[in-house]
């Protein structure tokens, strides 16, 4: 059974450390800073870092790669369409990799960046999991720095179609602010109100709000709910054009969130 540990970095990043207790091997996801990983390895000298998974090229996700590669010789896996330091295995849509004894699928999810990938595993697991990078957040989604709304919306809908019990491991502690926006979009959504209450309690205690779960996201994340009448109505109030497609609703929501 794999164990996921969040190593805090910078102001609100998490570097996910995935551990296989039997092998005493581990992998890290998007290490923007090498030091939290090196500290953990120093405290657990019997463990070996086998893999570094990268979702996209932004510095807060790749800044520690070269140092970790030099220190551990771990395999670096990342998007083929982006420039990733020390990249050993470029991956893109349709690829699968072996990670700590498990098969992991790779999906291309353009939007946040054009080459962004995510990693999904279900085979042989009690519960599927998704490493969603900066595409799908708990209660929200990433900004569109390079892609366009139709691309990003398609990427999010693809993730929303994954099994309802999929655990979602994103890379930032944005849940509280995302849910404040979600409640502005759907003020009568009781699932959002309940989740916001729970998340406030966690953050008041300085506790992590992740991972999320896909069925919870589909009930509370406005960016996965662009076909819902209440969401369409709220988005329309922030758009100067008629919103006739789900991706146009998404675009209006994303623009609203950018200045929320």
Active-site annotation, residues: 56, 58, 60-61, 112, 134, 172
143: left (phi over 0), alpha (psi -120 to 50) or beta: beta
Query: Which H helix or E strand runs over 70?
Result: helix 65-72
For residues 4 and 16, is the Cβ–Cβ distance under 8 A?
Answer: yes
134: exposed, middle or buried (Cβ count in 10 Å: 0-12, 13-18, 19+)? buried
Q: From CA 210, how far away is CA 215, in angstroms rounded?
A: 14
Angle at 106 between CA 57 and CA 100, to 5 degrees: 95
Candidates 26, 29, 3; CA nearest to 16 is 29
Evaluate the CA torsion angle 3, 1, 202, 182 in order and state its sign: positive
181: preceding bond cis by omega (within 30 degrees): no
């Amino acid at each position: 059974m794999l164990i996921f540990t969040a190593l805090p970095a910078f102001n609100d990043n998490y570097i996910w450390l995935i551990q296989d207790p039997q092998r005493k091997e581990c992998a890290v996801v998007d290490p923007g800073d090498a030091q939290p990983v090196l500290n953990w390895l120093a405290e657990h000298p019997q463990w070996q870092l086998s893999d570094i998974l990268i979702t996209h090229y932004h510095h807060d996700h790749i800044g520690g790669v070269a140092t970790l590669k030099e220190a551990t010789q771990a395999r670096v896996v990342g998007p083929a369409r982006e420039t990733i330091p020390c990249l050993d295995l470029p991956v893109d849509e349709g690829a699968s990799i072996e990670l700590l004894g498990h098969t992991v699928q790779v999906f291309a999810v353009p939007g946040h960046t054009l080459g962004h990938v995510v990693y999904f595993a279900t085979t042989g697991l009690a519960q599927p999991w998704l490493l969603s990078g900066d595409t799908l957040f708990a209660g929200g989604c990433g900004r569109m720095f390079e892609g366009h709304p139709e691309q990003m919306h398609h990427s999010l809908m693809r993730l929303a179609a994954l099994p309802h019990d999929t655990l979602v491991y994103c890379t930032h502690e944005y849940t509280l602010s995302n849910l404040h926006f979600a409640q502005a979009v759907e003020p009568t959504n009781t699932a959002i109100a309940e989740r916001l209450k729970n998340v406030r309690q966690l953050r008041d205690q300085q506790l992590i709000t992740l991972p999320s779960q896909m069925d919870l996201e589909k009930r509370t994340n406005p960016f996965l709910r662009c076909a819902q009448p209440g969401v369409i109505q709220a988005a329309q109030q922030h758009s100067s054009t008629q919103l006739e497609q789900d991706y146009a609703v998404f675009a209006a929501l994303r623009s609203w969130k950018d200045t929320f």
